[in-house]
Amino acid sequence: MRNENEIITCIVQRGKADKIVKSAIKAGAQGATMFYGRGTGVRQKLGFLGTFINPEKEIIFIVTHKETTDAIFEAIISEGELDKPGKGFAFIQIVGRSVGFIE
């Protein structure tokens, strides 16, 4: 089934995901999937400053309708302070096909 859904992926420091998800839901997200991961790469590039970046991460997936994606994405950036270095990373992808998305 073809649709107009997108998925926001957000990677943040461990312990930060709950407040970001609450903000996303307030902005119109139907829900989110969260899980743990471990990051590498940026810490090594930042050198001394990299010691302050914990490699333990929380990864958030939020499926959205195209019409609500921008508002939810902006809420995630604001709540997670993702516009500041070392706070996290977020991106949007188009979902070509999906099933089971409940509004």
Tokens of 98: 């999906």
Average pLDDT, integer, range 56-63: 95
Average pLDDT, the chain: 87
Q: What's the pLDDT score for residue 70? A: 97
Specify the pairing of strand 88-94 against strand 56-65: unpaired
Number of Cβ within a 10 Å radius of residue 9: 13
pLDDT tens, position by position, 86-101 = 899 999 999 988 888 7
Rounded (10°) angle between helices 66-80 and 17-26: 140
Give me the residue spans of the domains in the chain.
Answer: 1-12+23-31+40-55+64-98
Q: Indicate if the pLDDT at residue 25 is higher than 90.
A: yes
Tokens of 56: 């333990």
Q: What's the pLDDT score for residue 102? A: 72
Average pLDDT, integer, range 7-33: 96
Is residue 3 within 8 A of residue 87, CB to CB? The reply is no
Q: Indicate if the pLDDT at residue 41 is higher than 80.
A: no
Is residue 34 within 8 A of residue 59, CB to CB? The reply is yes
Q: What's the pLDDT score for residue 96? A: 87
pTM for the whole structure = 0.84
Q: What's the pLDDT score for residue 40? A: 75
- DSSP letter at 42 equals H
Is residue 39 within 8 A of residue 57, CB to CB? The reply is yes
